[in-house]
């Protein structure tokens, strides 16, 4: 199976997509393509995208995606890895 088909299948079969928004994420084209897939699902199904901001500011994100700036997000600068995991776990348990 091709990488593209594997990504498409993963996006289709998952309940949520955790998107780590970082400077590297914003630089790469294929990450934008994956995000587009999650946004398409979100239009049809509701909230499926869980953003985590990592080494990125609101101003950085506004240059690339105004629609992501308003989404509730976790931040790696505010939480430890363990706290992020607990926050994510609570989302999964509720869903």
Name the residue ranges covered by the structural domains of the chain: 3-94
Q: Does domain 3-94 have CATH number 3.65.10.10?
A: no
The three-class DSSP label of residue 36 is: helix
Q: Is 47 a catalytic residue?
A: no
Q: Say what the pLDDT of residue 95 is.
A: 59
Q: Say what the pLDDT of residue 35 is.
A: 84
Q: Which of 34, 47, 82, 83 is catalytic?
A: 34
Along the chain (95 residues), what's the average pLDDT of each consecutive run of 10 residues? 84 87 89 83 80 93 84 91 92 71
- The secondary structure of residue 78, as a DSSP letter, is T
Reference 17, options 51, 52, 49; nearest CA is: 49
């Amino acid at each position: 199976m091709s990488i593209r088909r594997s990504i498409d299948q993963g996006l289709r079969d998952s309940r949520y997509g955790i998107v780590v928004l970082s400077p590297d994420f914003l630089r790469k084209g294929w990450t934008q393509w994956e995000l587009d897939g999650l946004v398409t699902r979100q239009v049809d199904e509701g909230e499926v995208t869980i953003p985590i901001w990592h080494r990125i500011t609101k101003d950085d994100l506004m240059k690339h995606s105004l629609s992501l700036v308003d989404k509730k997000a976790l931040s790696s600068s505010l939480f430890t890895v363990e706290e992020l995991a607990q926050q994510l776990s609570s989302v999964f348990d509720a869903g």
